Structure formats: C-alpha cells, structure tokens
C-alpha cells in the first residue's frame, strides 16, 4: 500500500483530511477495536456500544463505496492478545507493507503519543493531518490566549461568532447583545416540565451484534443495554438534529439549567456523542439552529443559548485541553485527595438528586450539563475527591466522553483543580441551588437549607465546610469574597458542628 489511513473511533467523518487525495487503488483504511480503550477506565457499556456500533457502521459505509478497509473486530470472549492500538498496528504491519500512515490529529493526547511511538518503533512514516471538524484550531486558541492573564470563554466565543458570521448583523450581535444567559435560568416551577421525548434509534442488526458482544466481553462493566437507542450513523444524527430543532430547541434556553426527577432529557439536544464521534458536523448543527431563529420557529434566547454551547464552550474547552496538556491531567489546585464514593457506580444513596442523576447515567450513559456540574460534580468538589478519580468516572460513564472535552469540564470547570483556567471561580453551591433548579428536594429525606442535624442536606453541610477549609485560597478570588464572607455569620458552635458533620461525610 501507499498510504494506510488510520481512523480512530471518534473520527468517523468521511470528509476528514485523512481522506484528502485518497487513491482507491493504492491506499487502504485501517480501523481497530481494542480492549484497552474500554478498560483503561472502567467504561460504561453504552459508551463502548456507542463507539463500536458507530465504527462498524462507518466501516460498512466505506466498503459500500468500494474502499479497502482493514478492520479488526474484538473477539467475543477469551483473552485478547491484542490490547492496544500499537499492538494492533504492529500485527497489521507485519502482514502488509505500506509506505506511510496517515491520521487526523487524535482528540486525546495519550493516543497521539501512542501512535507516534508506535510509528517510530515500527519504522514507518506517520503524517498527522489537521482536524477540520471544529470551528477553530488549537493554534487560533493559543494565539487568543497569548498575553492574557485570565482566559474567558465569552471572548473566544465572540471571536468565533465574528469569524464565522453567526448571528451577526452589520458587525454587531443580532438582538443587540452577545449573551442571553439572564433569560436562561428558569426552573420548571410547580407545574413541572412537559418535554417532547427525543427521537429513538433502536438497534439495527449491526448495533444488536455489538450489544451482544459487549454484554459478553464487558459483562462486569456498569450500565444497562436495554435502553440503548443512541444515533450511531450520520443519517441517525441528521434525524436527531431535525427532531431537536423542531421539538425542543424552542424551549432549550429558558430551561437549560433546570432538572426534574425521572426526566433525563428535558429540552436538551442529545447531540454531543454524535458530534464528538463526528457523525455530524457542529457547523451544520449551529446552522440548523440559526435557521430556526430566522424562520421564526425558535426565539433568540434559545438559539443563542444553544449556539453558545457549541461555538463557545465546545471550542473553548478544546483550546484549553491542547494548550495545557499533558500537564493539565496532574493539576490539583485544592489538594483534594478523597476517594470517589462507591455510590457513584450504583446510584444507591439517600440523596435524591444524586440518586436521580447517577441512576439515569447508569441507565442511559447520559446526564445533562447541570446534573454533571451542579449535582455529581458539585458533590465531588465539596467532598474533596481526588480530581483524577473524578475525571476517570466522567470519562467512563457518558456516551459522549472523549478526553479533550471531558477533562477540562471535569478537572477545570467542575473541580477547580486547574486553579481557574476554565472557570473564574469554583462552582460551589449548597443544596439550596439544587432546590431552586429542580424538584429533587421534595422527595428527599434531607432539608436543603439545613447544614446540621439529622436531616441536614449533605450538600449544604459540605458547602460551608468547603468554604471554611479553603478560606484562605478562596478569599484571594474577587468573585468568591462575598460567598466566603458569609462564613462570618456562623457562630463558633455552628461552625464546629458543621466541621464535625462534614468530617463524617467526607
């Protein structure tokens, strides 16, 4: 072969740079299922199925177009002698000659290193090609970051909106402001939500085959396969987008932070996994939302709120990841060292909010942003769980988990372990925040406003303890000063009993 094009599990777009100049007669495609990718963190079955099913569908589509694909399937049972990409690549190159390996920049620092090392060891040339799936590049982000003391998503987002002319008119943001966050913090109140259920994609024969394999090979892994109906092809993803734009976008913004017991999806798009695996292009997703605003089917606060997640947050976290890796993985600004509570793997806890958020995570491999940030993430922050443990959990349990997006969100935004690169202050809150944004507390045995006593809400106890334990460091932060100052209103006895209760919880 001339070129062997390596396609990783999150690179399933046939218009990627890896296929530029592809010659059917001279080139081939290589894809491999290897167990290490599902085992280096204790991966949820739905995440494994998501990747493998999407990969197999992609292989089939390439073969239908007449491309030569060398595809390694995982054996259904037994010890696998091939554990990693480099093992699999070594086996292929022992049987086949090729003059060059071509791959799009991987989304994970570790994988990039592994491929580089393997190519060197095997004595074959390796060409990395730029990832065109995003709306900005790591180089643009580095340029943006240069000379800035403090990075802020907002400013990078504005740059991208201008560059791509999204929701802009005569050089100004449509609607006269960049940000409608103020309108987007509603809770569902007493009446509760009336969500339109997302379109389901029940497993076809290919996906059913993968589910069988995963149930056998990864039987001990967390997760439930009965509910698997994620989009695993570009056609599915396009359908899912249409369904979201029509049925949930018109109320996405207003309720984007709200939570409700037994309602896992609410007004969210559920497009993260499809975008992260590149089944659908983010520019297409953004355009569909902008079109909905222009034809009057969705209001500006909802459309801007949604566009901001993709053009803003998604691009920003990727920039942070590549600017700060590999050192980022080691950051632990608050010196957190507790183990992750066992109930993160079972959902068995008396805390109703955590029970619901973890329960749906284990069932669907999904929780929406506020559940990840202000329930599971917040609890780990307040307890002081070792950020690497928290990172491993988030990387394991969500169908959309890929390190470039998961790590800055977890270690940076939710655990403040990067000391403020991602967020200007820790997302620390008490049970009262959860009470305001959900109905969880109504079915909980704890009282969200209470910090001590038998029915004290653990979030509230741990919140005051968090401020107390980290007082010196937090006082240096302008945006935390007021929150920390409230500690002074507690009497010495109150603080002593909070500390004692928190020590027990931690």
Residues that bind ligand SF4 (CB under 6 A): 351-353, 431, 434-435, 440-441, 444, 446, 448, 457-459
Residue 269 binding: pick among ligand FAD, ligand SF4, none (C-beta 5-8 Å cut-off by kind) = ligand FAD
The verdict on 313 binding ligand FAD (CB under 6 A) reads yes
Compute the least distance from the CB of residue 60 to ligand FAD, in Å.
25
Nearer to ligand SF4, 232 or 451 (CB): 451
Residues 181, 316: Cα–Cα separation, whole Å: 17
Residues 377, 379: Cα–Cα separation, whole Å: 5
Binding mask 165-204 for ligand FAD (x = CB under 6 A): ----------------------------------------
Binding residue for ligand FAD, selected from 314, 355, 379, 469, defined by CB under 6 A: 314
Compute the least distance from the CB of residue 260 to ligand FAD, in Å.
15
> What are the Cα distances from residue 347, in Å, to 16, 206, 355, 398, 431?
40, 31, 5, 15, 18
The verdict on 309 binding ligand FAD (CB under 6 A) reads yes
The packing angle between helices 282-294 and 300-307, to 10°, is 170
The verdict on 270 binding ligand FAD (CB under 6 A) reads yes
Contact call for residues 27 and 203 (beta carbons, < 8 A): no
The packing angle between helices 458-469 and 492-505, to 10°, is 110
Residues 275, 230: Cα–Cα separation, whole Å: 12
The verdict on 243 binding ligand FAD (CB under 6 A) reads no
Residue 358 binding: pick among ligand SF4, ligand FAD, none (C-beta 5-8 Å cut-off by kind) = none
Contact call for residues 165 and 238 (beta carbons, < 8 A): no
Contact call for residues 105 and 128 (beta carbons, < 8 A): yes
Binding residue for ligand FAD, selected from 16, 43, 272, 470, defined by CB under 6 A: 272
* CA neighbours closer than 13 Å in the CB half-sphere of residue 407: 24
Return the structure tokens found at 340: 């992750």
Nearer to ligand SF4, 106 or 458 (CB): 458
Residue 111 binding: pick among ligand FAD, ligand SF4, none (C-beta 5-8 Å cut-off by kind) = none
Compute the least distance from the CB of residue 201 to ligand FAD, in Å.
15
Number of C-beta neighbours around residue 305 at 10 A:
24
The SS3 of residue 204 is coil
Closest of 198, 170, 166, 181 to residue 294, by C-alpha: 166
Closest of 125, 80, 122 to residue 102, by C-alpha: 125
Compute the least distance from the CB of residue 401 to ligand FAD, in Å.
4
The radius of gyration computed from the CA coordinates of the chain, to the nearest angstrom, equals: 23
Compute the least distance from the CB of residue 292 to ligand FAD, in Å.
14
Residue 270 binding: pick among ligand FAD, ligand SF4, none (C-beta 5-8 Å cut-off by kind) = ligand FAD
DSSP 8-state class, residue 456: B
The verdict on 268 binding ligand FAD (CB under 6 A) reads yes
The verdict on 377 binding ligand FAD (CB under 6 A) reads yes
Binding residue for ligand FAD, selected from 394, 416, 446, 459, defined by CB under 6 A: 394
Q: What residues make contact with ligand FAD under the rule CB under 6 A?
A: 268-272, 275-276, 306, 309-310, 313-314, 317, 368-369, 372-373, 377, 394, 398, 400-401, 405-406, 409-410, 413-414
């Amino acid at each position: 072969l001339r070129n062997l094009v390596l396609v990783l599990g999150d690179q399933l777009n046939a218009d990627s740079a890896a296929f530029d100049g592809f010659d059917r007669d001279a080139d081939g495609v290589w894809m491999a299922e290897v167990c290490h990718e599902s085992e280096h963190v204790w991966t949820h079955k739905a995440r494994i199925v998501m990747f493998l099913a999407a990969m197999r569908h992609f292989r089939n589509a390439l073969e239908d177009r007449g491309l030569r694909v060398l595809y390694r399937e995982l054996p259904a049972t037994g010890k696998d002698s091939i554990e990693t990409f480099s093992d699999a690549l070594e086996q292929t190159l022992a049987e086949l000659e090729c003059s060059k390996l071509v791959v799009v920049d991987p989304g994970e620092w570790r994988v990039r290193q592994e491929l580089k090392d393997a190519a060197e060891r095997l004595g074959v040339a390796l060409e990395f090609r730029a990832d065109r799936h995003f709306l900005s590049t790591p180089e643009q982000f580095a340029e943006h970051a240069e000379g800035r003391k403090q990075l802020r998503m907002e400013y990078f987002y504005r740059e991208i909106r201008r560059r791509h002319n999204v929701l802009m008119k005569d050089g100004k943001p449509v609607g006269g402001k960049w940000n409608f966050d103020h309108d987007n913090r509603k809770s569902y109140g007493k009446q509760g939500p009336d969500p339109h259920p997302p379109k389901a994609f029940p497993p076809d024969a290919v996906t059913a085959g993968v589910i069988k394999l995963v149930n056998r090979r990864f039987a001990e892994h967390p997760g439930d396969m009965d509910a698997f109906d994620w989009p695993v092809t570009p056609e599915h993803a396009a359908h899912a987008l249409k369904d979201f734009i029509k049925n949930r976008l018109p109320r996405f913004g207003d309720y984007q932070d709200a939570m409700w017991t037994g309602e896992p999806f609410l007004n969210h798009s559920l497009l993260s996994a499809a975008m992260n695996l590149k089944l659908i292009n983010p520019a297409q997703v953004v355009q569909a939302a902008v079109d909905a605003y222009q034809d009057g089917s969705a209001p500006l606060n909802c459309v801007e709120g949604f566009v901001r997640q993709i053009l803003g947050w998604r691009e920003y976290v990727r920039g942070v990841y590549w600017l700060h890796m590999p050192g980022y993985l080691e950051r632990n600004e608050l010196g957190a060292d507790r183990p992750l509570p066992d109930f993160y793997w079972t959902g068995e806890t008396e805390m109703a909010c955590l029970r619901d958020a973890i329960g749906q995570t284990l069932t669907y491999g999904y929780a929406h942003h506020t559940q990840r940030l202000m329930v599971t993430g917040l609890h780990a922050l307040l307890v002081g769980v070792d950020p690497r443990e928290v990172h491993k959990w988030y990387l394991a349990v969500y169908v959309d988990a890929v390190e470039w997006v998961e790590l800055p969100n977890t270690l940076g935004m939710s655990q403040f372990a990067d000391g403020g690169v991602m967020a200007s202050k820790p997302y620390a809150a008490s049970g009262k925040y959860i009470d305001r944004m959900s109905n969880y507390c109504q079915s909980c045995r704890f009282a969200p406003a209470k910090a001590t006593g038998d029915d004290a809400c653990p979030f509230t106890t741990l919140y005051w303890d968090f401020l107390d334990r980290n007082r010196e460091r937090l006082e240096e932060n302008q945006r935390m000063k007021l929150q920390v100052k409230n500690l002074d209103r507690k009497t010495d006895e109150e603080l002593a009993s909070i500390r004692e209760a928190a020590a027990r919880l931690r």
